[in-house]
Structure 1
């Protein structure tokens, strides 16, 4: 080939040569991308419904299936235990074998667990169904977030995270309402059956349209299996279960101060410490220690832990406050927090969109979110006996807004990784830490409430007669809440109002403690650096057009 004449070579003037080269325009997403995203959104929605649905139905289920208190306890926590024990493992498998197959397996396990739950005629079968749902749910929760990170660039991710926040928030909103409606008017079994039509729509969308690049296609599966961190996976599961079990039964089986709680809790901490020490050795660890070397990543993980504490504790205790102090039904209490949930959806999507339009600048939004969450949590303590409907629906709005906005924590975590292919492991670690925080939050709230309830009940304990005598054991205070409305006109009005006041002070103390913990979350944000979100680098498992 001959070189073109000099006159045909484009020349750049001195000023033009100094201008920075403009990045290429963003390519439009193909239709398959949007349909794959819709499939992910649906499966995330059905998982989030199950996270919040069963709590209020367990007493009815246990009564119908003639279950013991111990069986009811295991039915309550089997799902959460299996979710938290499996998340890191699902992420590790997907890093070696690709995201799609593990996600499909997770969905099948979740569907199988839903069917087992719906058909259960004894508590053992029901617990097995919930455990299967948890194993599948752990994969759904973590893999959906990882896949979203794979198929979007860091620069555009905030917008898609905001959109994914819609099914997450709506699922959390609808879970208790669906559970209450089915349990009261149809059958609790429909909580399981409802999952199947949603999964039947999401499954073909993911199978057909979720097309990602193959990971290490030239490496035989046998080699991939050999290089898995099997020891780390085993040790992590043992440590996680030992740590979270006593947190789960705090206030239900044994107090957190009991040796039966302290021994496994300390043992779990020791095992997890050994796990982290060991993770510096494997070539392909499930939790690479390099993820902790960035200060922003470490502080973000701390913030995610606090976020989990506040999310689960307040989400569980606000409806209980309405059902006890305000004597609302289960359905009415779910409706009372509906405005807060609706506003939180709008706030989350709006904040993510704002970060996307601004081209970054998430740090100030995160700090502001912690301020909103702290103030909003403190406002909950203003709820009183006989509060107006507008107060009951309005006070939780700031809390819900702050909790929703803090989904942004995933951005600095993902921006902190040096290698884009570490994004999946970083995402799974953040979700895992947040889930651990949620169990710790429930343990803190339960211990705080029981302690304060017992302290404030002591002046009137001698006056408790008949059914109210059950409250002498503060561990029964939460389980007793459904009976309060029935006893309203059957016991001495002064004693009844005094009991409601004891409940109120117990919940207020929980909110005060949580507001203090929220301050710790704000402090973590002060040490979070503003990392660039301009990275357009794609993951090794990026979306593939065909």
Structure 2
């Protein structure tokens, strides 16, 4: 709370006598009341601005001392967080007194709720965020294993099939920073409810469509809706929870992603095996309805920033959004159709990639010199620790996406006797190992002295694991697969909480929101590039491998163009013949190149990890606000 707001609050309380004021205080406020009897009959000033040294013989009260309030009464953490937010965002336009009184009333009501019983609305909001993250995790992990079945049903080529994943991820990447900015304009709740509606609409379109065009449209709308879920979940936790309790709630949201990562491939495999893949999208609808109701009636989220609507909308970086979205989409189009569809030397390939890369460079320059707040804040991002952290988050996204999309494809052709459900179970060796190490590292990463060692060791395991994946062949056994999967999964499990903790620890307290948005942006950008780069490598290498098998060029092109429906045909063949073996070996050889590229990128991220420095101790938000006022 600013000094002007305190002064306004003081002036409104001058008419009250000391006895009446003390009578109106709550018990937990009386615990923080410090006073002495003045020599005069009446105190000169009933309430005073905070002072570093108490003035003797004065009646002083400091109910806004959030640090002591947190240490003395943990049950009032939400009240402390709300008052802290008010102190950082109070207006100076004369309405600050009214806003402060309204918020203090809301704080007292919430505190009374907690004294009288469980704050069920707060926990209902937390449950809604948990379900929301679980739905998005399922959506990301159930789809890849069902792609061959979807491509066969809708008669889609390899390019359209890969863009089922790319369209979702590129929509998430581009809309993520935009919705974080719009949540200041309209408030957290309206943006989250609106984007949840868009996500449900996209799921409905994807579930009922009979063509790849409709499926791509539905996936794009799903991505736009999910673009607010990634950052706003963490931002809402930051709004409602003090920094000391944020780790617990971050862990709760992390559990949702762990459950989704482990169970998603099995659910997707079961639905694909029973030819009910549309339920991958139908399942999103009841969950979205439940979350919508919980958020609409229970959530008390951060409101819109003070001020008129049009000036706030003009301050949003709309030009940067259009520039980023257009450049990224054009570059990805050129990257994914380069190869058998259009040669690398073709204008249709080179021109989109050049325009896309050039547009992204312009976006970076614009973000630096933009007159309004840029979507991706680059201020202070040139520090070695932040550069290494964001680069690591992007490489992490690339490798995880490559594993999600191409490990099921490897089992499809290498282990043709496996059902889709058995393929999902075989992926437990990777997903469960990742979940176990992520849980262990979540607690280990709380110590700042261990983070630098963890991030280097984690990248070393990823390099080793992805390099060992290159030795997987059609004849490789289950024990060999488990031993190889454990290395890369352990490495990724270590990196997930460690990189996130470093990204937040390198920011100042007031820059938490920027750090959350930037980290989520680079991670989803990496996931988008992981599918797009993997698709390009797979198509080009599969075409080369088929030509090496002495197949005619026309036949090789047809096989590559229908790579996913071909998987279903190969799996349905009951006899072992030379052509079937050659096609399976060509697939495995093409996927092997993806693991080589992943190992090289992981090695680059490991080298970047040596530039991570020990972060300075962070001040709490309460201490930061108090220091500014006392200064």
Where on the TM-score scale, by shorter chain, does this alignment land: which range?
Answer: 0.7 to 0.9
**Relative to structure 1, is the Cα distance of residues 188 and 449 closer, same or farther in structure 2, using a 3 angstrom cutoff?**
closer
Residue of structure 1 in register with 2:408 after alignment: 319
* 1:513 and 2:560 matched: no
Paired residue for 2:502, among 389, 409, 412? Answer: 412
Paired residue for 1:381, among 447, 458, 470? Answer: 470
CA distance in 2, matches of 1:33, 1:300: 32
Residue of structure 2 in register with 1:2 after alignment: 38
Residue of structure 2 in register with 1:537 after alignment: 621
CA distance in 1, matches of 2:158, 2:455: 41
Residue of structure 2 in register with 1:275 after alignment: 363
- The more displaced of 81-90 and 303-312 is 81-90
**Relative to structure 1, is the Cα distance of residues 417 and 66 closer, same or farther in structure 2, using a 3 angstrom cutoff?**
same
Paired residue for 1:351, among 419, 441, 451? Answer: 441
**Relative to structure 1, is the Cα distance of residues 69 and 529 closer, same or farther in structure 2, using a 3 angstrom cutoff?**
closer
Residue of structure 2 in register with 1:480 after alignment: 566
* 1:528 and 2:612 matched: yes
Is the Cα contact below 8 Å between 1:379 and 1:395 reproduced in 2? Answer: yes
**Relative to structure 1, is the Cα distance of residues 477 and 123 closer, same or farther in structure 2, using a 3 angstrom cutoff?**
closer
RMSD value over aligned CA atoms?
A: 3.4
**Residue-pair matches, total:** 518
- The more displaced of 138-147 and 478-487 is 478-487
- Deviation at 1:231? 2.1
Q: Which string of whole-angstrom CA distances, capped at 9 and with x for unpartnered residues, describes residues 40-99 of structure 1?
A: 121011112222333444454455456677765654543223222211211111233332
CA distance in 1, matches of 2:204, 2:163: 18
**Relative to structure 1, is the Cα distance of residues 121 and 498 closer, same or farther in structure 2, using a 3 angstrom cutoff?**
closer
**Relative to structure 1, is the Cα distance of residues 483 and 521 closer, same or farther in structure 2, using a 3 angstrom cutoff?**
same
**Relative to structure 1, is the Cα distance of residues 323 and 259 closer, same or farther in structure 2, using a 3 angstrom cutoff?**
same
Residue of structure 2 in register with 1:238 after alignment: 326
- Deviation at 1:256? 5.8
- Deviation at 1:383? 2.5
Is the Cα contact below 8 Å between 2:162 and 2:535 reproduced in 1? Answer: no
Q: Which has the larger radius of gyration?
A: 2
Is the Cα contact below 8 Å between 2:159 and 2:561 reproduced in 1? Answer: no
Q: Which string of whole-angstrom CA distances, capped at 9 and with x for unpartnered residues, describes residues 415-453 of structure 1?
A: 223352x32233222222222222333343344444544
CA distance in 1, matches of 2:328, 2:406: 25
Residue of structure 2 in register with 1:544 after alignment: none
CA distance in 2, matches of 1:403, 1:234: 33
**Relative to structure 1, is the Cα distance of residues 276 and 126 closer, same or farther in structure 2, using a 3 angstrom cutoff?**
same
Relative contact order (C-alpha < 8 Å, sep 6+): which is higher?
Answer: 1
Paired residue for 2:186, among 97, 104, 119? Answer: 97
Helix, strand or coil at the partner of 2:409: helix
**Relative to structure 1, is the Cα distance of residues 349 and 71 closer, same or farther in structure 2, using a 3 angstrom cutoff?**
closer
CA distance in 2, matches of 1:34, 1:44: 15
CA distance in 2, matches of 1:479, 1:539: 60
Is the Cα contact below 8 Å between 1:155 and 1:534 reproduced in 2? Answer: no
- Deviation at 1:312? 0.8
CA distance in 2, matches of 1:168, 1:125: 28
What stretches of structure 2 of length at least 5 have no aligned partner?
1-36, 41-55, 57-67, 79-118, 625-631
What stretches of structure 1 of length at least 5 have no aligned partner?
10-20, 541-546
* 1:216 and 2:305 matched: yes
Residue of structure 2 in register with 1:120 after alignment: 209
**Relative to structure 1, is the Cα distance of residues 476 and 35 closer, same or farther in structure 2, using a 3 angstrom cutoff?**
same
CA distance in 1, matches of 2:176, 2:530: 19
Q: Which string of whole-angstrom CA distances, capped at 9 and with x for unpartnered residues, describes residues 147-204 of structure 1?
A: 2344445555444333322212322333333233223326222222211222233233
- Deviation at 1:338? 1.3
Is the Cα contact below 8 Å between 2:179 and 2:227 reproduced in 1? Answer: yes
CA distance in 1, matches of 2:430, 2:39: 68
Is the Cα contact below 8 Å between 2:152 and 2:565 reproduced in 1? Answer: no
**Relative to structure 1, is the Cα distance of residues 149 and 425 closer, same or farther in structure 2, using a 3 angstrom cutoff?**
same
- Deviation at 1:336? 0.5
CA distance in 2, matches of 1:314, 1:321: 10
CA distance in 2, matches of 1:306, 1:406: 11
* 1:489 and 2:578 matched: no
- The more displaced of 299-308 and 44-53 is 44-53
- Deviation at 1:242? 2.1
* 1:329 and 2:419 matched: yes
**Relative to structure 1, is the Cα distance of residues 446 and 124 closer, same or farther in structure 2, using a 3 angstrom cutoff?**
closer
Helix, strand or coil at the partner of 2:476: coil
Is the Cα contact below 8 Å between 2:456 and 2:606 reproduced in 1? Answer: yes
Structure 1 residues 461-476: aligned runs within 5 Å: 461=550, 470=556, 474=560
CA distance in 2, matches of 1:288, 1:404: 28
Q: Which string of whole-angstrom CA distances, capped at 9 and with x for unpartnered residues, describes residues 377-418 of structure 1?
A: 223233333333233234212212222332232222222233
CA distance in 1, matches of 2:214, 2:540: 35
**Relative to structure 1, is the Cα distance of residues 539 and 233 closer, same or farther in structure 2, using a 3 angstrom cutoff?**
farther
* 1:83 and 2:83 matched: no
- Deviation at 1:301? 1.0
CA distance in 1, matches of 2:255, 2:420: 24
CA distance in 2, matches of 1:372, 1:114: 37
Helix, strand or coil at the partner of 1:520: helix
CA distance in 2, matches of 1:306, 1:122: 33
Residue of structure 2 in register with 1:205 after alignment: 294
- Deviation at 1:290? 0.7
**Relative to structure 1, is the Cα distance of residues 411 and 156 closer, same or farther in structure 2, using a 3 angstrom cutoff?**
farther
* 1:164 and 2:248 matched: no
Paired residue for 1:341, among 396, 417, 431? Answer: 431
Helix, strand or coil at the partner of 1:461: coil
- Deviation at 1:506? 3.1
Is the Cα contact below 8 Å between 1:154 and 1:415 reproduced in 2? Answer: no
Is the Cα contact below 8 Å between 2:152 and 2:564 reproduced in 1? Answer: no
